[in-house]
Structure 1
């Protein structure tokens, strides 16, 4: 795989970086140039191959061409401009020009360009390395965003959060007439939010108070320059679910019970937002997984074996499974027994190797971010979010020897239900989209090409995660051992 970041007129960003070395001096800044050529992740087609048992062609292939390109919003932030001012822009127009829909590819390479499970081992390694390098650079610099379109995310059924959403919206629209604020469409007629009252009292808000829908988030994610999440960690996970591919930087205010992902105190929101808009942000790229459900296809042979179908010697044209939905997740993929009274039987594969057969209530496959969630409750390890790993933890395994295991993020995992299993299993993705896996079905899990950019506090970014687990989990908290008092005669 070729992972290239392009800046300007097709010049590799790595060359530009060599001329202007990035450092961790906060006085240096990076501006998001919405008028420049977007950075792109380019996959060379001639090195892409299809994994065994991956796809059933859904339509006749169209004539091929040599170009397959994808791009991620956070990749556009790495170009260094040393604080050069840029003229005003329209983010939605920029977003439309940046987002090239892969399903418009006239030569039927959309599946190849979109799904990480179809990449070779080297392609996944190069992709993961490129994202890690990007994350290191972003963590050492301050990004100056030309904020115009602000996305506010809050629970539309929570009275307290609706009031806070209204308060924040009013403050933003008053602060700068250039700001356009988007809130959930269900709040348009909400009596507590009182959108009509806001517009009546402030005629200048007309056309600047707007409403987002799930379809807008999916089809035009670059419309938004920043996401303000009001709530707890679940609200941040909801933001990840809304933005399945390109994710704007997410600034999360803590209003929940834990707060691993919510870094800012809502009571200080005027000072926080003023500083963010005037001084810039520091972004942490959180690894996400791409999980695809693969359905077993009916075949004449009734004596089928899942292990043989996935890693056995079979001809390239013998397709056994087809995809049935892909999800980018921030926390974990869980395959469990669901409502069935008996434990699950799950075959676990890594790349082209059969790892083991899991007999348990289920298995939790977690990102480092999700290590403090279901993974922790199931007995898995705590893991710093900067680690490039996949955590695999059994849920109530029916054996004493199944210990949690940590794998590199370059592996493509597959968790499937064997054909001779007593019952089906169920898969969920960040606790959502729960689907049944019948015997023969499986789920692929691999590192996603679309990481989750989380905004960090500028003054405590280096120790933020340790503070989180100490504050929320009381990590290593106990009464201090008393000192000896020597007795002398």
Structure 2
């Protein structure tokens, strides 16, 4: 979603008496900073938490008061204000204490409000519930944005896409003198794009044709009102990689091979863009994962156990591991054997429980959006993107009984290499940033507080996903069974 909607405030989302969705202007109402930071608070009943480690015992520390933490996530600015009720003090239970403890190692270098892994179980549940509620409301309304800064994303090494980028940029700046169009900075001196020729052709374009850099995307994502993707699904994933936190709405034109995430035909771009800017857009919030690499720190003792350090007696020791990078991903996190000739050994944890030891070529932890990618190729299930789940699929497991498993998005998963593993493993994030995980290292995977807003076609949004798998995968496509011709 565009960050400017959060900055300018949005009224409550309602329906007419007939039940029809209403439209609103994302800049029509102002709100105070305090209102923008009001978080959705939901009180959950404690659930029984099963642990396999007999050494785990309840802490004797008094139960801390629950303190509301204002979220910086722009999606919560669209939610109606909910006043939470604080519970009275009562006897601390094992399950209650678990709901209040952080879900991963905190080495003191990162603010808890910046990373999902450092939230408590209760806070993660609140966040996930709030995003799900918002996604339902956004599916029923049209967002009318005052578009001024338009971000065009395409592969800067593809001649055809460079030509399309120039064509689209020229059309936009000709259509409205208020539009500022951003293209990749490498196109500034590209002969095919011919930026200087474009500016000489129409002097009014000067000052309105601008160039974006990775640094600008990372530091000032609120600069852009909408992203136009020209390419395939890889281009959409690249948009997710560029905008690691707040993501503007992404309207993707199909110029690639398959196109699960590219919803619009490029040949109709004048009609599509005119309608989107004038009539508004409908947005689908796609769940993203926050994946954090945690490195094992050297200690004096030689015999170490990863299970003990993550959920056992040493789980409260924040000096066993240090943070080494965080990525928000749209498709999947993969931990595999990399170039090693032998299979990987991976310990898999969920919250405070040791799930299993994976012995396989690797494990794929996928979002619902990524269910049609590596997850599907590895034998995982197809999953509608509206489902709030985490899909875990083994890659060529060394047992026939390791079936794909689907977990709720409120679980914090940790996949680590045990200290006694024969070889290291390798982790990749949406196929990028491939890093080596040495024995003792692990990756934390949790729901991100920064979802990915994908623009849907207004005329077929309800059946868009089914259409995409039928079109790209030929899902359940076969000749119809012939009827019997009864003999008389």
User: Which TM-score band (shorter chain)?
Assistant: 0.7 to 0.9
What is the CA distance between 1:68 and its match in structure 2?
5.5
Paired residues of 2:73 and 2:450 also in contact (CA < 8 A): yes
Tell whether 2:43 aligns with 1:31: no
Residue number in structure 1 paired with 2:486: 486
Q: Distance in 2 between matches of 1:72 and 1:280?
A: 23
Could you say what secondary structure the match of 1:294 adopts?
strand
2:12 corresponds to which of 17, 20, 41: 17
Structure 1 gap ranges (5+): 45-65, 81-107
Aligned to 1:47: none
Deviations 1:160-215 (A, max 9, x none): 00000000000000000000000000000000000000100100001000000000
Aligned-partner Cα distance in 2 for 1:399–1:197: 62
1:425 aligns with 2:419: no
Are the aligned partners of 2:21 and 2:140 in contact in 1 as well (CA < 8 Å)? no
Look up the match of 1:236: 236
Residues 73 and 222, structure 1, Cα contact 8 Å, conserved in 2: no
- Using the TM superposition, give the Cα deviation of residue 300 of structure 1 relative to its aligned residue in structure 2, in angstroms: 1.0
Matches within 5 A, 1:424-463: 424-463=424-463
Report the Cα offset of residue 410 of structure 1. Answer: 0.3
Unaligned runs of 5+ in 2: 42-66, 82-107
Report deviation, 1:220. 0.1
TM-score (structure 2 length as normaliser) = 0.84
Whole-angstrom CA distance in 2 between matches of 1:318 and 1:459: 52
Instruction: Give the aligned CA root-mean-square deviation in angstroms.
Output: 2.4
The 1:205/1:463 distance shift into structure 2, 3 A limit, reads same
- Residue of structure 2 in register with 1:211 after alignment: 211
State the alpha-carbon separation in 2 of the partners of residues 403 and 260 from structure 1: 25
For the 8 Å contact 1:70–1:113, the answer to whether it is kept is yes
* CA distance in 2 between partners of 1:124 and 1:319 (Å): 24
In structure 1, distance between residues paired with 2:375 and 2:16: 36
Contact 1:425 1:436 in 2 (8 A): yes
Report if aligned partners of 2:40, 2:126 keep a CA contact under 8 Å in 1: no
Cα offset for 1:313?
Answer: 1.8
- Return the offset for 1:118: 1.2
Matches within 5 A, 1:454-473: 454-473=454-473
Residues 181-192 of structure 1: pairs in structure 2 closer than 5 A: 181-192=181-192
Q: 1:381 corresponds to which residue?
A: 381
Instruction: List aligned pairs for 1:276-355, cutoff 5 A.
Output: 276-314=276-314, 316-317=316-317, 319-355=319-355
Within the alignment, does 1:115 sit opposite 2:119 as a pair?
A: no
Aligned to 2:411, the other structure's residue is in SS state: coil
Which residue of structure 2 lines up, in the alignment, with residue 127 of structure 1?
127
Compared CA separation, residues 25 and 216, structure 1 to 2 (3 A): farther
**Is this contact kept in 2: 1:74–1:453, CA < 8 A?**
no
Would the aligned equivalents of 1:68 and 1:109 in 2 still touch at CA under 8 Å?
Answer: no
TM-score for both structures, normalised by structure 1: 0.84
* Cα deviation, residue 120, structure 1: 1.3
Alpha-carbon displacement from aligned partner over 1:305-343 (angstroms, at most 9, x marks no partner): 101111102373452111100000000000000001100
CA–CA separation in structure 2 for the residues paired with 1:334 and 1:350: 16
State whether residues 254 and 265 of structure 2, in contact with CA within 8 Å, keep that contact through their aligned partners in structure 1.
yes
From the superposition, tell whether residues 161 and 351 of structure 1 become closer, same or farther in structure 2 (CA, over 3 Å): same
Inter-partner Cα distance in structure 2 for 1:448 and 1:186 = 31
